[in-house]
Amino acid sequence: MKRRLLLVSNSTLHGSGDIKRVLFVPYALHDRDAYTKTARDKFKTLGYEVDSIHEASDPIDAVQRAEGIFIGGGNTFRLLKGLYDSKVVTEIRRRVLEDGVPYMGSSAGTNVATISINTTNDMPIVYPPSFYAIGLVPFNINPHYLDPDPSSRHMGETREQRITQYHEEPDTPCVLGLREGSMLLVEGNKATLLGTTKARLFTRGKPTVEYDPGCDLSFLLADAH
């Protein structure tokens, strides 16, 4: 397994010295041109050129030529629908898992790197043909995970309750709650929690577990989870 992934809760960009051009996927926002300009300007300060998939005449060919792939945040349902509409889900998976092309996901881009988008925080403003995502890792992630606030007067469901409800369904995978400031680095079959905040792991039928930055989470990459 050649995968090299950086899955981030927020939109902080981090450089990687072995590529010069990045294929940006702006499908999560409506104004793809403006989103691409923002990404292009930011990556330029890091020393990278950006090609946007929405500017390519053939999106599949753009993925096949990519040195690195970055999928940004926004609405996860819109993003996944865009990936299916442009027919690049399978090709992104192949390039990352088989060719070792570096992949970075931020927020919604992190969601679509997992098994499914069932644990996203977003409203379903559009309907993708499937909730199954790219599947670069065999578990789900909840970016921007928020802990319950005991002093809050808000009577809605907490993030913890929503994930628990998800696990009431059969055969649902682990969910890693990534708080702001945390990220997951995956190199082959090794996964490491990075950043400044802890992550919370939800496993169906088991108590939740907290992990500190620097922890080895490689066990999550086993298909049994």
Catalytic residue positions, numbered: 107, 122, 144
Instruction: Tell me how far apart the alpha carbons of residues 33 and 108 are, in angstroms, rounded to a whole number.
Output: 18
Edge-to-edge strand ranges of the sheet holding 140-143: 140-143, 175-178, 199-202, 209-211
Instruction: Tell me how far apart the alpha carbons of residues 168 and 154 are, in angstroms, rounded to a whole number.
Output: 24
Q: β-strand 4-8 against 182-187: which pairing, if any?
A: antiparallel
Structure tokens at 42: 């930011």
Instruction: Tell me how far apart the alpha carbons of residues 60 and 90 are, in angstroms, rounded to a whole number.
Output: 9
Do the Cβ atoms of 105 and 5 come closer than 8 Å?
A: yes
| Closest residue by Cα to residue 118 from 76, 161, 71 | 76
